[in-house]
Amino acid sequence: MNHNKYEVVLDHACQLGEGPVWDADQQRILWVDILPGEIHSFYPASGEHRIFKTGQMTGAIALLPSGNFIAALQHGFHEISLENETVVPIADPEVHLPENRFNDGKCDPAGRFWAGTMAVDERPGAGALYMLDNDQSVSIKVENVTCSNGLAWSLDHQLLYYIDSPTRQVVAYEYDVTTGTIANKRVVIQFQEEDGFPDGMTIDEKGMLWIALWDGWKVIRCNPNTGERLQQIDLPAARITSCTFGGDSLEDLYITSAKTGLSQQELAEQPLAGCLFIVKNTGIKGIPTHGLPKP
């Protein structure tokens, strides 16, 4: 089933838009533009759009109870206050790998922040997936990663779903919510070359995965139990990067995209590349954003 009622949220194109997060408390959508190191916030009710520059490439953010963020920047984990305009380092597990940067990240059901890395030049196997625990210790979860991307946890908190984009796979690990340990990797969804590359993803209240397809022009909804494709949202940009549910009832799907790496001809053919899109009233609810716990 196709669903094509997308709208453009605002007249701004990111180089590499990614990592959308719905902030229910402030009724705003947040996302990052990785390459210039920007955190974007947009308030649908007022139409206000704010941009904060972090000073380095910015892969992902997660909400803190204080209203601040944990961010995965090029050089490690930081706490960021948009109000105070501060960027405070927490830990850099790859201080010895200055040619790497952090990419996608997300909080797990226990409030730990997971984020993965990749080489800036995208060389194979240079990255890893890390977990920042609630005591701010960092552990490595998956090694030999090329482009660490989408993360989601099953509704019963028994599985971690994960994407290393060049594999064209979504894999599942058995996941222990108490300790954060993962084990027994298996492939649950396999994409083909014509699909593009799986990128960011989110999960809905029925446990189905919504997966953005880089160079695939779409978001697809898949059943991770069977691999079945349930529906797709076709979009006017090739490089679709991630998605998340937002709005009052968590039935609006926000979708990020990118224009980096496109030729002049491709940019002319895709004037909306890099924009933030929304599909309103999907009829399916997301789940509330996992955030870090109150101390």
Which are the catalytic amino acids? 199
Neighbouring residues of 17: CB distance < 8 A, sequence distance ≥ 6: 31, 32, 33, 40, 241, 256, 257, 258, 274, 275, 276
Tokens of 76: 């490690």
Annotated binding residue 4: no
104 annotated to bind ligand: no
Instruction: Tell whether residue 149 is among the known ligand binding residues.
Output: yes
Q: Which DSSP symbol is given to 194?
A: G
The first and second tokens of residue 207, run together, are 């446990």
Q: With beta carbons less than 8 A apart as the criterion, state whether 224 and 189 touch.
A: yes
Between CA 241 and CA 256 the distance in angstroms is: 6
Q: Is 121 annotated as a binding residue?
A: yes
Q: Specify the residue for token string 């922040």.
A: 113
- Tokens representing residue 166 in the block: 């060049």
Beta carbons of 38 and 54 less than 8 angstroms apart:
yes
Q: Which of 62, 66, 96 shows the shortest CA–CA distance to 77?
A: 62
Read off the tokens for 55: 């000073």
Residues contacting 51, CB < 8 A, separation 6+: 38, 39, 40
| Residue 266 assigned to a binding site | no
Q: Is 281 annotated as a binding residue?
A: no
- Which parts are annotated binding residues? 18, 101, 103, 121, 149, 199
Q: What residue numbers does the annotated binding site for substrate cover?
A: 101, 103, 121
